Chain A
């Protein structure tokens, strides 16, 4: 790593001298009074016990992260025992959601989550990669900072604000202008047909796409900057145009990392709650029509958790949460491994 090089580096930041006399360290003659440094240190206590206690404290805090993940897993599993025992794996393949009669099947929610995330990926991936290419390879240096700031700002907007905007601006826009066009042009596929409410799977997919864009584009940017400059220079020296250089040296070298960042975006989309809940329409049905209302795993928890009266109902919702937890963990681990495989050689970057 660059940071570990033993060379004189300018000391960054406010640097407090360890003692008043620290500026002129002189070894005192034998038998003389202990120096000011020594007195200072002795007065503050410097026993090995404090040192190891500090070390242990830090270790405990680090292990707390472990404990938290384990605790989440344990709580979710024990609280969903009822449905795990009653329905087993069939829980995720049944499509009946009937809390009154105690019959639970999570398939419509799984379907809604997967399809809305897929729509989001289809919309967001080309845009995110395009933005990343533009910012890292093409745009004038002057624009680079502001543009990356703006895309990062997109990530800072809270989910509920996206939802608010989607309910009042995006949904009417889809209902009045975009959906009729889709029905006219692509109605024959069966994916876009009446009734056109505005809210539904497509609206959820679009808002999810806007939300995961910054995640994908910032990681893609990072992966692209990790491609060595010599690769670019080699391609240009062989007479490649700029686009050929990007395609042959940048995208080709960064492809694993780009896939990783896409999967990380997928992980974000799968667990996204508020904005989706506000526009997906909340109807547990599996239909082909993308304009029809649907339901997602996260939104069924958000909507029904506080009104779940009996234990079985609660257990079913917690089991959906458990499934969401496990799926996002697997997706995240996979994505991290891919991104790490590409960027590990690159120096650490700030923000």
Chain B
């Protein structure tokens, strides 16, 4: 009877335990290795950025080469203009496409195709988006413009917003829709003020994430918004943007500009981190938690 039982030898057990502990140690090591560049990046950003951040940064435009001082006020305003144009294009189309996927096309072949295309669009490299918008808007217009930069950012926002809107709308229980329709509310109104409203925290989260993602984009702006050393809020003219300015300054040979680049990076990343954390706070503490 006892012969049929498998008896692991002591050596076998030691070896297996050793493998287990080694694996645990390796994964912990991997986690530390992954977290360390994050800490290094944030550490240097704070260290180098905070020391060169002052009021001038937010109020002055870039100083000419050779002069010290100057700031990035025009780039901050330019980024804001670009993001407003981008959101004006990306948010409505993205949410509407999400509504279509969740409410009308559910399970259909067309919806699957649209969802797939959105994923494809999400994977298109940002530089290619820049080239395409250049060919589409800048070439016919024959000049760089804030509008073309905004269009490029807006297109990049669409897939993220569409997918998150769809996901959130799908989480809204059917009984709510049925209750609305049962009371005689027209379908369009039920979608807009019942379903979409119920899912609104999640939808807003998606929009904020898309916003945070394109806020730091540089590549699509290189030959659409192009950058500008002076004040400009004209949508038909080249406009400065914070990421573009950081790129130009980082590659310049001047120490003063390097400092400004670090300060700009700190401002940019604070903007993004604050919005992402806010979003995370809303989604984990917010009303949507009960539905998931």
Contact = CB atoms under 8 A, between A and B. Distances in A.
Given A8-B175, A134-B28, A18 B276 contact: no
Given A12-B288, A168-B258, A305 B273 contact: no
B223 to A, nearest CB: 5
Q: Ordered nearest first, which 3 A-B pairs have the shortest CB separation?
A: A158-B216, A271-B125, A130-B30
B137 to A, nearest CB: 10
A242 B184 contact: no
Interface in B138-197: 139, 155, 158-159, 162, 167-168, 170-176, 180, 183-191, 193-194, 197
Contacts of B173: 3, 9, 11
A237 interface: no
Contact of A18 (B132, B171, B194): B194
B40 interface: yes
B216 A324 contact: no
Contacts of B99: 58
Contacts of B191: 54
A301 B131 contact: yes
A271 B126 contact: yes
7 contacts: A44-B189, A58-B97, A65-B114, A127-B34, A150-B38, A165-B45, A350-B171
Nearest to B92: A61
A241 interface: yes
Interface string B6-42: 0000000000110110111011111101110110110
Given A12-B287, A69-B117, A350-B288, A62 B38 contact: no
Interface stretch (B52-60, B69-77, B245-253): B245-253
Nearest to A54: B188
A76 B135 contact: yes
B272 A156 contact: yes
Which of B117, B139, B269 has the most chain A CB atoms closer than 10 A to its own CB? B117
Contacts of A18: 180, 183, 185, 190, 193-194
A94 to B, nearest CB: 21
Contacts of B97: 58, 61-62, 64-65
Contact of B123 (A150, A278, A329): A329
Given A79-B135, A131-B30, A62 B101 contact: yes
A98 interface: no
A33 to B, nearest CB: 16
A213 B200 contact: no
Interface in B97-137: 97, 99-101, 103-105, 110-111, 113-114, 116-132, 134-136
A75 B101 CA distance: 27
B87 interface: no
Give the dominant DSSP class at B's interface: helix
A298 B44 CA distance: 27
B272 A65 contact: no
Contacts of B201: 13
A63 to B, nearest CB: 7
Given A332-B119, A350-B283, A241 B276 contact: no
Interface of A: 1, 3-4, 6, 8-16, 18-19, 22, 25, 37-38, 41, 44-47, 50-51, 53-55, 57-59, 61-66, 68-69, 71-72, 75-76, 79, 126-131, 133-135, 138-139, 147, 149-154, 156-165, 167-169, 210, 213, 217, 241-244, 246, 264, 267-268, 270-274, 278, 298, 301-302, 305-306, 317-318, 321, 324-325, 328-329, 331-333, 336, 348-351
Contact of A50 (B188, B198, B250): B188
B184 A59 contact: no
Given A72-B129, A133-B27, A243-B24, 14 more contacts: A41-B184, A41-B185, A65-B118, A76-B128, A154-B38, A156-B213, A158-B216, A160-B250, A161-B216, A165-B44, A243-B19, A244-B20, A268-B123, A328-B124
B288 to A, nearest CB: 6
A271 B246 contact: no
B261 interface: yes
Contact of B262 (A41, A54, A164): A164
A301 B220 CA distance: 11
Contact of A68 (B38, B100, B155, B171): B155
Contacts of B113: 66
A61 B100 contact: yes
Nearest to A66: B117
B101 A6 contact: no
Nearest to A329: B120
Nearest to A349: B292
Nearest to A321: B131
A333 to B, nearest CB: 7
B268 interface: yes
Contacts of B289: 12
A348 B171 contact: yes
A156 B114 CA distance: 26
